[in-house]
Chains A and B, each alone.
Chain A
Amino acid sequence: MAKNIRIIPRLDIKGPNLVKGIHLEGLRVLGKPEDFARFYYENGADELIYIDVVASLYNRNSLHDIINKTAQEIFIPLTVGGGLRTIEDIRSVLRAGADKVSLNTAAIRNPEFIHKASRMFGSSTIIVTIEAIKQSDGRYFAYIDNGREYTGMEVFSWAKQAEQLGAGEILLTSVDFDGTGMGYDLDLVKTVSEAVSIPVIASGGPGRLEDIKRIVTEGHADAVAIASMLHYDAIKKLKLNLDSFVEGNVEFLKSGNVFTKFNSVSLPRIKKYFSDEGIPCRLNSEQNAYV
Chain B
Amino acid sequence: MSNLDENQVAIIDYGLGNLFNVERACAKVGLRSIITSDKDVIRKSNGMILPGVGAFGDAMGSLKRLDLISFIKDQIDRKKPFLGICLGMQLLLTESEEFGGYEGLDVIKGSVVKFKSVGEVSRKMKVPQVGWNRIFFDRTQSYAQSDSIFQNISNGEYMYFVHSYYAILEDSSFVLSKTNYENIEYCSAIAKESVFAMQFHPEKSGLEGLKIYKNWAHKVNEYKELEKK
Residues of A with Cβ closer than 8 Å to B? 1-6, 41, 46, 71-72, 75-77, 94-95, 97, 99, 121-125, 168-169, 194, 197-199, 220, 222-223, 281-283, 285, 288
Contacts and interface: CB of A to CB of B under 8 A. Distances in A.
Nearest to A4: B132
Contacts of A125: 17-18, 53
Given A71-B24, A220-B123, A198 B18 contact: no
Nearest to A169: B130
B157 A285 contact: yes
Contact of B131 (A3, A123, A168): A3
Given A3-B126, A122-B16, A288-B156, 16 more contacts: A1-B180, A2-B182, A6-B130, A6-B132, A41-B206, A46-B132, A71-B24, A75-B210, A76-B160, A97-B20, A97-B24, A125-B18, A125-B53, A168-B128, A199-B131, A283-B158
13 contacts: A1-B180, A4-B131, A71-B21, A75-B28, A76-B205, A97-B20, A97-B24, A122-B17, A125-B53, A197-B127, A199-B126, A223-B131, A283-B158
B130 A222 contact: yes
A99 B18 contact: yes
Q: How large is the interface on B (under 10, 10 to 19, 20 to 34, 35 or more residues)?
A: 35 or more
A285 B205 CA distance: 13
Interface in B152-173: 154, 156-158, 160, 162-163
A46 B154 CA distance: 18
B160 A124 contact: no
Contacts of A6: 130-132
B181 A75 contact: no
Interface of B: 16-18, 20-21, 24-25, 28, 53-54, 123-133, 154, 156-158, 160, 162-163, 180-183, 203-210
A2 B126 CA distance: 11
A46 B130 CA distance: 11
B154 to A, nearest CB: 6
A1 B182 contact: yes
A94 B18 contact: yes
A3 B129 contact: yes
Contacts of A199: 126, 128, 130-131
B21 to A, nearest CB: 6
A76 B201 CA distance: 9
Contacts of B157: 285
A282 B28 CA distance: 24
Given A3-B181, A75-B204, A222 B160 contact: no
Contact of A97 (B16, B21, B125): B21
